[in-house]
Structure 1
Amino acid sequence: MPADLAPYERALTHGSQAAANYERLEFLGDRVLGLVMAEWLWELFPKEAEGQLSKRLNALVTGAVCADVARTLGVRAHLRLGKQARDDGAYESDNILGDVMEALIGAWYREAGLDAARTFVRRAWASRVHSTDKAPQHPKSALQEWAAAAGRRPPEYSIVDRSGPHHAPRFTVQVRIGTFADATATGTNKQEAETAAAKALLAKVTP
């Protein structure tokens, strides 16, 4: 049991519930997660170059992955949300769950230190880190590389729609390769929507 529950309560508190919310702890936890994951990957894959390690890191610390970890740990049941956020289904928001997961890491780091934070992250992310031997290629990078190899124009991304409440937005993004091909996808933030659109377009242009 933590000596002081207040930081953890704050880490679970959304801005719709109180001004003392998870944002500052999320800022800290994001950096702790990045450091711990970078160190871990550096140890696990001693023969990989920086570029491959970066691909692994970027794939493992996305908001969607952090949200998935939060769901696995049962964080949703403890979220502190305002009424409107609850009514809008914020319990299922990848944005909120991902931020809260990082805030909890930040709170644990502040109380117990880096070694304890490292132990927690390695347990929580273990199955994800060991799920593949090959470094994942981010869809946006893969699409850009395909376009260059095929002699096509670089992919261009544009937001075509934004909907939903402030705490649970939905972005619709279109990606185009000149007039050759395009695809559209939706996500809970601009980056997620761009990634999904790139993945959809890759599926169209590659066998």
Structure 2
Amino acid sequence: MSRPEFLDWIAEITNQRPLTPELYIRAATHGSHGEADYQRLEFLGDRILGLVIADHLYHQFPEEPEGQLSQRLNGLVSGPVCGDVAKQIGVGSHILLGKQARDDGARKSVKVLGDVMESLIGAVYLDHGMEAARDFIIRHWAGRVSATVADVRHPKSALQEWAAANNRKVPTYELVEKSGPHHDLKFTVRVSVNNIGEVQATASAIQAAETEAAKKFLEKFT
């Protein structure tokens, strides 16, 4: 992918012509590439994403209590959601990777995609300011905000409530396995409820694996 094509893509997904192209190139550069990578921009973008989504939810759902807003927020800024947004806008085709990372499939890694998505948010903020970053986020997250209306309970909270309502002990979570290359680690977690059963799930982060395990447990046993 040539530099002009890359910058045309940036203009398309951000609705802004890049003023500082190097910011976006850095935002798409993985550590394996041997140059300044996206980690600092990811750090910044992660915080901006949380603020923008929190502000949007506060105004979008004026009657909801803090607990429900927090559950919505946690779901919308999670790594898997960031990775999914990245997939939809074609981030994978534009990541700069070293040979080993390419061979290991980093271009399709949910974690890497999510990290780059956050770094792009950071780049937009530095290049165009907060309002542009807000517009960029809302443009690509809006459908997901409305999709959380039906049931905002986090699976782990829902499972704990179910266990309490059925006079069961608190669900226990156990890390079963950690595998994969450094840039694409996989965590397998087991959740169990005494005298009911257990379920395992695998994801790119322990918290995400616990969430998926709780969801599968609810589907299987309730």
Q: Give me the TM-score of the superposition, normalised by structure 1.
A: 0.95
Of 80, 83, 108, the residue aligned with 1:64 is 80
Match of 2:201 in 1: 185
Aligned to 2:183, the other structure's residue is in SS state coil
Aligned: 1:47 with 2:47: no
Residue identity in the other structure for 2:105: G
1:39-188 matched pairs, under 5 angstroms: 39-188=55-204
CA contact (8 A) 2:72 2:148 kept: no
Aligned: 1:200 with 2:177: no
Residue identity in the other structure for 1:184: Q
Aligned to 2:147, the other structure's residue is in SS state coil
Q: 1: distance between equivalents of 2:148 and 2:114?
A: 22
Deviations 1:61-98 (A, max 9, x none): 11111111111111111101111111111111111000
| Structure 2 unpaired stretches of 5+ | 1-16
Residue identity in the other structure for 1:100: V
Of 46, 49, 62, the residue aligned with 1:33 is 49
Residue identity in the other structure for 1:55: Q
C-alpha displacement at 1:205, in angstroms?
A: 2.1
- What value does the CA root-mean-square deviation take over the aligned residues? 1.2
Residue identity in the other structure for 1:112: H
C-alpha displacement at 1:15, in angstroms?
A: 1.2
Aligned to 1:111, the other structure's residue is in SS state helix
Q: 1: distance between equivalents of 2:19 and 2:186?
A: 38
Q: How many residues align?
A: 206
C-alpha displacement at 1:18, in angstroms?
A: 2.4
CA contact (8 A) 1:53 1:135 kept: no
Residue identity in the other structure for 2:50: G
| Structure 1 unpaired stretches of 5+ | none
CA contact (8 A) 1:52 1:135 kept: no
Moved more, 97-106 or 5-14: 5-14
Identity of aligned residues (%): 56
Aligned to 2:33, the other structure's residue is in SS state coil
C-alpha displacement at 1:131, in angstroms?
A: 2.1
C-alpha displacement at 1:16, in angstroms?
A: 1.1
Please identify which structure carries the higher helix content. Answer: 2
Q: Give me the TM-score of the superposition, normalised by structure 2.
A: 0.89
Aligned to 2:187, the other structure's residue is in SS state strand
